[in-house]
Amino acid sequence: MQITIIRSHRRAKTVSARVVNGVLEVLAPAHISDEELTHIISRLQQRIEKKQQQKPVDDTDLADMAKRLNKTYFNNKLQWTALSWSNNQEKRYGSCTPALKTIRISQRIATMPRFVQEYVVMHELAHLIEANHGPRFWRLVNQYPRTERARGYLMAVGLEDLDELPNTP
């Protein structure tokens, strides 16, 4: 795997890594030595490779999750024509096309904790009723009790869009 190192004087202690378009991007403090960084990169690379080898849930598991959420939070009122994992969503964690009643969930979400997966599916299910991110939409999504926790998780990994934050609590 190709590695790009980005050093910053603003970064004081931590080294982090992420895969961007197949390249391991390492964010490191400017003052850290190459020798120390090599050891850290090796550990980070092992962690990322292990995470990538995890088997994602399949479309059947995703459908079961959506059915359960539909029953619990929408009284089985929602219907969709397609619900699947997507491997070509780089900037989104999910998408819904209400007119076609189709939902796609980024495969990046498949390796995240179950409560995050459920939140993302809940978010997209709510779009079947409310296409925008207005107050009514957030009332629907916030029925899921772990919404705030899941959004915090997604913000921490850089996937939650801050522009989508609700205007009302």
Checking if the pLDDT of 122 tops 50, the result is: yes
Is pTM beyond 0.85 here? Answer: no
74 and 147 fall within a common domain: yes
47 and 66 fall within a common domain: no
Q: Are β-strands 23-29 and 3-8 bridged in parallel, bridged antiparallel, or unpaired?
A: parallel
Question: Measuring CA to CA, how many Å separate 124 from each of 95, 98, 102, 130?
Answer: 6, 9, 9, 10
46 and 76 fall within a common domain: no
Q: Is residue 169 part of a domain?
A: no
pLDDT in tens, 84-119: 998 877 778 999 999 999 999 998 888 889 999 999
Q: Is residue 141 part of a domain?
A: yes
Checking if the pLDDT of 56 tops 60, the result is: no
| Residue 22: domain span | 3-53
Token code pair at residue 7: 């050093």
79 and 16 fall within a common domain: no
Q: Is residue 29 part of a domain?
A: yes
Q: Interhelix angle for 59-74 vs 114-126, to 10°? A: 60
Q: Is residue 140 part of a domain?
A: yes
